[in-house]
Structure 1
Amino acid sequence: MFKSLLTTSLAALAFSVALQAQAQTDVTYLLPAPPNSPAFAPWIIAKEKGYYTSKDLNVEFIAARGGVDVAKQIGAGNAMVGGAIGDTPIVVRPNGIPVRAVAVLGAGGVTMIATNADEHINAITDLKGKTLTVMSYSDTTYYALLASLRKAGLSKTDVNIQAAGPAGVWQLFSAKKAEAMAGVPDWIIDAQDAGLKVSLIPQEQIFESMAQAILASDDAIKNHPDVVRGVVQATLQGMRDIIQDPHAAAATFAKAVPAYAGKEAALERTFKLYIDHVYANQTVLGQIDPARLDKVRQFYVSEGIVSKEPKLDDLYTNQFIETTTAAK
């Protein structure tokens, strides 16, 4: 009798596990660069700690070639969701690509401009005639750089911009083959750890672009809202973990990405840059500020970065944000 009960219990357990696995939805999430970058820590931590699984999602990360490529792939129906900078819908929507931002990870801009301290570059205008590295000409950080140059009265022809890839962007800079770099905070830490003394262009001189965003297709928002909501809420929990305890978050990331084992101190420095410059001052995690987005939109149009002004309401939605949950 005991043997019969045990067999029945094991069968029931196996059936339950099978049902849970069957209930999970497979989700391809496109990232603008390889997923082992600390820039994507909210996503990596969310997966490592089971936040997506708790939303009945089985998320797989796949690297695209920059944020604009992510948007194009989502718009073409190759994925429902992906990551880019919040500016990206402004760039692609006028071209008929049906994507919008459904969350933005921070109230600051993610693009920072770092310079070789020995060059004594103190302002955007000092970049004239200098060489700068970016990840690619299709990544939205490149457009943020162009906007920063235009804001200072310069154009892209006044500088030498080199697209060097997600590793080359900081490696060429740290090797002093470029005087400056436009990119995300983790590349600044990489350059510092490579031995370069780095200075940052004051943030007030940088164009007020958006932080990293979660993008979704119009079709996914309309027909798969539970998937989009689950991705948003799980990712924001990963972001919240970083804000609340960057030290513990660094350990979690290093566990998920073994290449960073032993580099937790550098990870923590990177996360603190994000907390101070990108995540800071967002009252409700993930919430998109339409006034800031509109300002970015108007600047892109007025400076000719995009030729046609997209409708503001077509660029974002806050319907998946838990507005009762304030940032800690």
Structure 2
Amino acid sequence: MNTFATRFCMVFAGMTLAFAAASSQAADLQKVTYLLPAPSSLPAFAPWMLAKQRGYYAAEGLDVNFITAKGGADVAKQVGAGNAPFGGGVGDTPIIVRANGIPIKEVAVLGGSSFMHLAIDKDSGVQSVAQLKGKTIGAMSYSDTTYYALLGMLKANGLGKSDVDIQATGPSVWKLFADKKIPALASIPEWTINAELAGVKVDIIPADKYFKSMAQAILVSDKTIKENPALVRGFVHATLKGLRDIVQDPASAAADYIKAIPAYQGKEDYVLRVFKLYNKLVYTGQSRLGEIDAKRLGALQDFYVKEGIVPKAAPLNDLYTNEFIPAK
């Protein structure tokens, strides 16, 4: 055999072995499903997408498949029924669904502040929550936890839901605000950045200023926690590494996030602005990444019970656990 042929065979054999090794590694990964309450392309889910893109799930032996469900309530029902081991919602979710007999807990919350904030169009003349009386406010839905956070903010300022006109038109509600058709929006960071890019001068009022709702949470059934704690721990650790990367280096995280979600190619500045706003408004306020504040959760449950959103309080230990988040 001539030298060229020999080299070709060696290179081909090496490539074959590498492919076989990669295939074997992929085959060794445990396939798991994570249910999202909205499409995976939303920057709100960047910690999860980044954890997959950077191989953090694979390092824990997991091959994660993200599937979009029909909102947070559907996620909770499916996870509680055992149709998926994990799902996403807001930290408020277990308070609501436990009252309906759905056996789930939150095992990590991605940020120590509220997921929702109130965005106000500065040109509307509204300068405070109290001045929204008689005005229109946009919200995603009347059953979403960001809607309940809005009610909490209004109540803290002496307003009930009948004092304002709340329009819930789904995930595209931000467009009404961006088009200046409504003066205020129960918003999340990407919606606010979208509005700013559309030319709206936005005044941001964090929900935490008046009402301490919660950030996004990882939801797991009681059964999975009991029967497969190692799976839960691995998933939580990997996801929190994605969160850590956004907090510590949003520019680098944005670059890899765009590799995971190519629809944002050419929109690097937008993604970075969104990440920075999440860092400022949502991902702040935790001594340990992922840690659930029991006092905050308890006060939130008290509000839900008092407002008749849930019939009675559940024991706090039924709503959450911090046993799976890493030490400092």
Q: Same fold (TM over 0.5)?
A: yes
Does the 8 Å contact 1:100/1:218 carry over to 2? yes
Aligned equivalents of 1:321, 1:314: Cα separation in 2: 17
The reply on whether 1:135 has 2:134 as its aligned counterpart is: no
Range with bigger deviation, 149-158 or 51-60: 149-158
Q: Which residue of 2 aligns with 1:298?
A: 302
Compute the displacement of 1:164 (Å). Answer: 2.0
**Segments of 4+ in structure 1 off by > 6 A?**
2-12
Cα distance between partner residues in 1 of 2:166 and 2:118: 13
The yes-or-no answer on 1:126 pairing with 2:127 is no
Secondary structure in 2 matching 1:115 = strand
Q: How does 1:22-101 map to 2 (within 5 A)?
A: 22-101=27-106
Q: Is the alpha carbon distance of 1:75 and 1:58 closer, same or farther for their aligned partners in structure 2, counting shifts above 3 Å?
A: same
TM-score (structure 2 length as normaliser): 0.91
2:3 is aligned to none
Distance 1:253 1:5 in 2: 36
Structure-1 separation of matches of 2:99 and 2:65: 29
TM-score scaled to structure 1, two decimals? 0.91
Partner of 2:200: 196
Determine the C-alpha separation between the residues in 2 that align with 1:184 and 1:136: 14
Aligned length: 322
Residue 207 of structure 1: aligned partner: 211
| Greater C-alpha Rg | 2
The verdict on how the C-alpha distance between 1:242 and 1:277 changes in structure 2, with shifts beyond 3 A counting, is same
The 2-side partners of 1:64 and 1:198 are apart by: 31
- For 1:113, the aligned partner's letter is L
Q: Is the 8 A contact 2:207 2:213 kept in 1?
A: no
Spell out, residue by residue over 1:49-76, the C-alpha distance to the aligned partner (whole angstroms, 9 max, x if none).
1111111111111122322222122112
Q: Is 1:232 paired with 2:236? A: yes
Deviation of 1:250 after TM superposition, in Å, equals 1.3
- SS for the counterpart of 2:302 is helix
The one-letter code of the counterpart of 1:251 is A
**Equivalent of residue 283 in structure 1, options 276, 287, 293:** 287
The Cα of 1:17 is off from its aligned counterpart by: 4.0
Secondary structure of the corresponding residue to residue 182 of structure 2: coil
**CA offsets 1:172-206 (integer angstroms, 9 cap, x no match):** 11112222111211110011111111112255544
Structure 2: 5+ residue runs without aligned partners? 1-5
Distance 1:11 1:262 in 2: 36
Aligned 8 A contact 1:66 1:140 in 2? no
C-alpha distance in structure 1 between counterparts of 2:117 and 2:305, whole Å? 22
Preserved CA contact (<8 Å) 1:115 1:199: yes
* 2:120 corresponds to 1:115: yes
The DSSP-based 3-state class of the residue aligned with 2:300 is: helix
Give the Cα separation in 1 of the matches to 2:208 and 2:257: 31
Which region of structure 1 is more displaced relative to structure 2, 7-16 or 261-270? Answer: 7-16
AA of the residue aligned to 1:120:
G
